[in-house]
Amino acid sequence: MPDMRRMVRVALDVPLRHGFDYLVPDGMGVPVIGSRVRVPFGRRNAVGVVIARPKTSEVPEARLKPVRELLDSQAAIGPEVMKLCRFAAQYYHHPLGEVLSTAMPLKLRQGAAPDALVRSWHLTREGAEQDLDALKRRAPRQAELIRLLLATGEVSEPLPARLKRLVPTLEKRAWLLCEQRVVTPVPPAQAASPGPELSREQATAVRTITSALGRFAGFLLRGVTGSGKTEVYLQSARACLAAGRRVLILVPEISLTPQLVERVRTRLGARVALSHSGLTDSERLAHWRSAKDGAADVVLGTRSAVFAPVPDLGLIIVDEEHDASFKQQDGFRYSARDMALVRARDEAVPIVLGSATPSFEALHQVEESRLDALRLPRRVGVAKPPSARLVDLRQGRLEAGVTTILLDRMRSHLIAGGQVLLFINRRGFAPCLLCESCGWRAECSRCDAALTLHRSAGRMHCHHCDHRASIPLQCPECDAHTLAAVGQGTQRIEETLTRRLPGVAIARLDRDSTRSRGSLERTLDSARRGETKVLIGTQMLAKGHHLPGVTLAAVLDADQGLFGLDFRAQERLAQIITQVAGRSGRGEQAGEVIVQTRFPDHPTLRRLITEGYDAVAADLMEVRRSDGWPPFERLVLFRAEASDAKDALAVLRLARAELESAGIEILGPAPAPMARRAGRHRAQLLLIGSRGRLQTLLRSRLEAVLSLPAAQRARLSIDVDPIELF
Ligand SMILES: [Zn+2]
Ligand SMILES: [Zn+2]
Q: CA–CA separation, 633 vs 627, rounded Å?
A: 9
599-623 pLDDT, tens digit per residue, is 899 999 999 999 989 999 999 999 9
Which residues have a Cβ under 8 Å from the Cβ of 128 and sit 6 or more positions away? 146, 149, 150
Rounded distance, CA 59 to CA 20, Å?
Answer: 9
Q: For residue 183, what pLDDT is reported? A: 64
Q: Reply yes or no on whether the pLDDT at 179 is more than 90.
A: no
Distance 485 CA to ligand 1 centre (A): 13
Distance of CA 679 from the midpoint of ligand 2 (Å): 8
Look at residue 382 in the predicted model and tell me its pLDDT.
Answer: 57
Q: State the distance from the centre of ligand 2 to the C-alpha of 490, rounded, in angstroms.
A: 20
- The region, left, alpha or beta by phi > 0 then psi within -120 to 50, assigned to residue 338 is alpha
> At residue 543, does pLDDT exceed 90?
no
Q: Which residue has the higher pLDDT, 193 or 246?
A: 246
Q: Which residues, by Cβ under 5 Å, contact ligand 2, an ion? A: 444, 446-447, 462, 464-465, 467
Q: Pick the closest to residue 248 from 319, 193, 334 (CA basis).
A: 319
Each residue's pLDDT tens digit, 374-430: 999 877 665 566 788 999 988 777 777 889 999 999 999 999 999 999 988 766 556
In this prediction, residue 377 carries a pLDDT of: 81
Q: Report the pLDDT value the prediction gives residue 634, as an integer from 0 to 100.
A: 96
Report how far ligand 1's centroid is from the alpha carbon of 455 (Å): 20
Cα Rg of the chain, angstroms: 29
Residue 448 CA, ligand 2 centroid: distance in Å: 7
CA of 441 to the centre of ligand 1 (A): 8
pLDDT tops 70 at residue 266: yes
pLDDT of residue 86: 97
Q: How does pLDDT run across 108-142, given as a tens digit for each residue?
A: 999 887 766 677 888 888 888 888 888 888 888 88
Give distance in angstroms: CA of 442 to centre of ligand 1: 10
Q: Give me ligand 1 centre to Cα 453, in Å.
A: 17
Q: What is the mean pLDDT of residues 48-70?
A: 92
Tell me how far the alpha carbon of residue 687 lies from the centroid of ligand 2, in angstroms: 28
Give the ligand with the smallest distance to the CA of 441: 1
Closest CA to 609 of 424, 395, 387: 387
Q: What are phi and psi of 621, to 5 degrees?
A: -65, -40
Q: Does residue 114 have a cis bond before it (omega within 30 degrees)?
A: no
Which comes out higher in pLDDT, residue 675 or 382? 675
pLDDT in the model for residue 2: 43
Backbone phi, psi, residue 95, to 5°: -55, 130
What's the pLDDT score for residue 1? 38
pLDDT score for 117: 65
> What's the confidence (pLDDT) of residue 340?
98
Output the CA 437–ligand 2 centroid distance in Å. 25
Tell me which ligand sits closest to the C-alpha of residue 464.
Answer: 2
User: Residue 151 belongs to what H/E stretch?
Assistant: helix 140-152
pLDDT of 191 above 80: no
pLDDT number for residue 690: 96
Question: What pLDDT score does 437 carry?
Answer: 82
Measure the CA–CA gap between 319 and 350, rounded to whole angstroms.
Answer: 14
Long-range contacts formed by 366-371: CB under 8 A, 24+ apart? 366/220, 370/218, 371/218, 371/219, 371/220
Residue 7: pLDDT band by 50, 70, 90 thresholds?
Answer: very high
pLDDT of residue 173: 87
Amino acid at residue number 685: L
Q: Are 135 and 146 in contact (CB under 8 A)?
A: yes
> Higher confidence at residue 170 or residue 719?
719
Phi-psi region of 328 (alpha: psi -120 to 50; beta: other; left: phi over 0): beta
Can you count the helices (H) and strands (E) in the chain?
23, 32
49 in helix, strand or coil? strand
Angle between helices 603-611 and 613-627 (to 10 degrees): 140
Average pLDDT over the chain reads: 88
Determine the Cα–Cα distance for residues 102 and 434; give it in Å rounded to an integer. Answer: 43
What's the CA-to-centroid distance between 428 and ligand 2, angstroms? 15
CB proximity list for 248: less than 8 A, separation 6 or greater: 298, 299, 305, 306, 308, 310, 313, 315, 316, 317, 340, 343
Expressed in angstroms and rounded, the spacing between residue 478 Cα and the centre of ligand 1 is: 4
Q: Tell me the C-alpha to C-alpha distance, in Å, between residue 275 and each of 102, 253, 272, 290, 307.
A: 12, 10, 10, 11, 10
**Cα(584) to centroid(ligand 1), Å:** 44
* Whether residue 587 has pLDDT greater than 70: no
pLDDT surpasses 50 at 250? yes
Residue 669: is the preceding peptide bond cis (ω within 30°)? yes
